[in-house]
Amino acid sequence: MPNILATRIDNRLVHGQVGMTWTSWLGANLVLVADDILAEDKVQQNLMDMVLADGVQSRYFSVQKTIDVIHKASPKQKIFLVCRTPQTVLALVEGGVPISAVNVGNLHFAEGKKQIDKTVSVTEDDIRCFKALVEKGIPCTVQGIPADAKKDILSLL
């Protein structure tokens, strides 16, 4: 069983809050980004690696590769799983990735989205995915940084 310490949805993927604050707070030694676009973009990967805490490794896998290899992770790997969207997290769960809870950090506002918290805006499909995750017994909470109070996403919809 892979040692997934936390799963975060953040459309910025790896940035200061993820690379330093969350990894240090969790005690993670591996940030695994499951994202089809970033898996192919070495320049963005290198930029994101620059904000990782000392001693923290990174992997940038497609959604399918994450599903295929996550169960081969060493128990010594303390994994912080980061995804861009709730659709990605739902696909991982449906693919057998053992996600026990979801932290929602940032989903940018855009045309057609409803703002539900200061850093979280959702589409109807995002709402469908969050409801599906909760129905599978996976709590989803909004929390920017560890010091912030957790807010149940369904109470914000």
Q: Are 32 and 22 in contact (CB under 8 A)?
A: no
| Structure token pair of residue 136 | 């599978």
Catalytic residue annotation: 15
Nearest Cα neighbor of 127 from 106, 103, 157, 97 is 157
Question: How many angstroms separate the most distant Cα atoms in the chain?
Answer: 43
DSSP code, position 35? -
For CA atoms 64, 92, 56, 84, the dihedral sign is positive
